[in-house]
Amino acid sequence: MGPLVTKAIIRFAQQTAAAARTGQPKPSLGRGVAMAIGLFLLTITASVCTHQVSYFSVEKKKILVKGFSSSSSELWPPVFTPALRSSALFINVD
């Protein structure tokens, strides 16, 4: 979506420059400002989503590594205490 908004901003700037050269009325400045703010918000949203995916994949890897590194005596019999339910060690597998 970002490249499309960037292309629209460039097209808006070209229209504004062409209107200034020919003496025609310029396009509304509010449209350009709105596109710039939209591009900023799209960039921030994409960044936050990317970081969330990275964070959760690292956290899931930590859980899996901890589960595989435990000895089998620690894993059986499973005891689901309240502390275990509230910690990240409890994995609900569907």
Is residue 75 a part of any domain in this protein?
Answer: no
Domain count for the chain: 1
Does 73 have pLDDT greater than 70? no
Instruction: Output the six-digit token pair for 73.
Output: 């005596």
Is residue 28 a part of any domain in this protein?
Answer: yes
Is residue 45 a part of any domain in this protein?
Answer: yes
- Within its chain, how far is the Cα of 6 from the centroid? 19
Domain that holds residue 17: 2-62
Instruction: Output the six-digit token pair for 3.
Output: 């490249």
Is residue 14 a part of any domain in this protein?
Answer: yes
Within 8 A by CB and 6+ apart from 91, the residues are: 63, 67
Q: How far apart are CA 56 and CA 84, in angstroms?
A: 19
pLDDT band at 13 (very low <50, low <70, confident <90, very high): very high
Task: Output 88 or 37, whichever has higher pLDDT.
Answer: 37
Is residue 92 a part of any domain in this protein?
Answer: no
Does 1 have pLDDT greater than 60? yes
The 3 state secondary structure assigned to the chain is: CHHHHHHHHHHHHHHHHHHHHHCCCCCCHHHHHHHHHHHHHHHHHHHHHHHHHHHHHHHHHHHHHHHHHCCHHHHCCCCCCHHHHHCCCCCCCC
Is residue 72 a part of any domain in this protein?
Answer: no
Q: Would the pTM count as exceeding 0.85?
A: no
